[in-house]
Structure 1
């Protein structure tokens, strides 16, 4: 009898542990720093806009006098203050002459929201950003492009299929199989075994209320220009997974490109800045003309 009680206690403690891990996965730490676009010599405006489900999101609007606006989208656990890719990409886009609307996804940075859904309800966030732009600066919304990293890359891909106003997009290190990436993320972010994910996943859905979706399925829906960037040293997203999306999408989309580098996750811009900028500059110039 005693061993049954002991087993019951172990099972109870295991459930508590995986519930805690699931909670932490959907409630990332908030990254807020003190740099602003003024550090690059550009004036900016602090802005807020509200999503369809009632969350206030916080961001920067940098009016560069163009009719073309690019919205950079950060990844999971990061924010517009990320200095690995968001800071250099914002500066790059401004130097290239684009207006920039940078904001924090729900549950990140200074935006409202208790939980992230890693690409599900974040689609409402980009819809709110584009709605704000069209309402407040319609003359700056002639062309709207997205440049997304990791979770932001997922949102970029979904937006190309679901948001009419988005003309083209760059998806850097996009997870294509969220279960595999989630399992790898346990090891990458928390040094936990990947097999634990099958027990953690139900709690992430329970806490966040996020809907399960499969980015790979969007390969059959996108017919707009898309640049995919994948890194061979990425511990979270395998190149073959991105290549599968590319091979499926190019059957219906002649304007999809795949660029494979030797970088880790979302690090091509850091390790090969000039190549990244040249590739993205060429892509945006071509499709935002």
Structure 2
């Protein structure tokens, strides 16, 4: 009987050893995969901007796409690009820098509008994921031509700004507050609009949940996401056909240690629920990057009646402007002018 017990004990020890080795191996694999995801998605040199999705993309989104819409978008991009280039040539931006709360040098392009200085109208236009201020030139141009002083920042870890990790809007919200304060130093009577696209829209929304100076009047978000967690989990499925558990949990912990934030706290949805100032929500129905359904979630989360939605039927990601053309700007300025005196 004693020999039988000893045999069982030996078997149990071997089994426990094998089980422990499996756990260690699994944990190590999970850690390396999570670390790779962090570097890929938010590391400054990461490849997250090169997007290829699996063949089983949402059929509902695919059905929203049309050749006619794509033709309109492509033609508009060419025309607006030429116009923006002429604008840049006629009104070259001034280079400005500020220091972030964590001592990063942040770059901005400042389009100083001398003729409209007495109107005290200012716009901060905020670019998307893996882009820089140059991607917002069409936006800078329209605000400038409508009497605004315009600041187009490079978000941290983008363009000419310092930083090792992309902020996904969460770290950037504090940087935008620093830009707001810079504007108020130049013009204490400034009336400020924040307008962002994609990650820039998430930045706008995350900023909207903070306590802001009275100078900030209106927010415009174009195709922003509900949270960093949701958009990364969605992309994990579309790009790699992987479930969110356990990789997202591990990556979020690693991001918290390396970049200073976790993916769940970076929530536009939570921030918008605290926003009392006016906000315009814009989204394309054929967006296969940030789902169109997120706009309604965000709209419903924002309290009050000082909000509006603009749907671009058939627009793919960040292309509502190009599909809608002047009607995009008619809606934007009609909304803004309802709240700026």
The equivalent of 1:278 in structure 2 is 330
The equivalent of 1:142 in structure 2 is 190
User: 1:181/1:48 Cα in 2 relative to 1: closer, same or farther (>3 Å)?
Assistant: same
Q: Which stretch of structure 1 is more off in the superposition, 276-285 or 123-132?
A: 276-285
Corresponding residue to 2:208 among 151, 156, 160: 160
Corresponding residue to 1:22 among 28, 38, 46: 38
Q: Aligned equivalents of 2:305 and 2:223: distance in 1? A: 21
1:236 and 2:289 correspond: yes
1:173 and 2:223 correspond: yes
**1:197 match: secondary structure:** helix
Q: Aligned equivalents of 1:257 and 1:97: distance in 2? A: 23
Q: Aligned equivalents of 2:145 and 2:237: distance in 1? A: 38
User: 1:28/1:268 Cα in 2 relative to 1: closer, same or farther (>3 Å)?
Assistant: farther
Q: Aligned equivalents of 1:13 and 1:159: distance in 2? A: 36
Q: Aligned equivalents of 1:104 and 1:37: distance in 2? A: 21
RMSD: 2.8
Deviations 1:77-135 (A, max 9, x none): 111022xxx12111211222211011111111110111123122211211111122222
Structure 1: gaps (5+ residues): none
Which protein is bigger by CA-based radius of gyration?
Answer: 2
Q: Aligned equivalents of 2:180 and 2:224: distance in 1? A: 21
Deviations 1:209-240 (A, max 9, x none): 11524322234322211100122222233333
| Residues 171, 228 of structure 1: 8 Å contact kept | yes
Q: Aligned equivalents of 2:88 and 2:272: distance in 1? A: 39
- The structural deviation recorded for 1:3 is 8.2
User: 1:191/1:92 Cα in 2 relative to 1: closer, same or farther (>3 Å)?
Assistant: farther
Q: Aligned equivalents of 2:38 and 2:326: distance in 1? A: 38
Q: Aligned equivalents of 2:312 and 2:166: distance in 1? A: 29
Q: Aligned equivalents of 2:85 and 2:181: distance in 1? A: 23
Q: Aligned equivalents of 1:216 and 1:53: distance in 2? A: 25
Corresponding residue to 2:96 among 21, 30, 47: 47
Alignment of 1:99-110 (within 5 A): 99-110=149-160
- The structural deviation recorded for 1:53 is 1.7
Q: Which stretch of structure 1 is more off in the superposition, 198-207 or 261-270?
A: 198-207
Corresponding residue to 2:261 among 203, 210, 226: 210
| Residues 160, 167 of structure 1: 8 Å contact kept | no
**2:280 match: secondary structure:** strand
TM-score, normalised via structure 1 length: 0.84
Q: Aligned equivalents of 2:87 and 2:295: distance in 1? A: 36
- The structural deviation recorded for 1:271 is 2.5
State how many pairs are aligned. 278
**2:133 match: secondary structure:** coil
- The structural deviation recorded for 1:187 is 5.2
Structure number with higher helix proportion: 2
The equivalent of 1:221 in structure 2 is 274
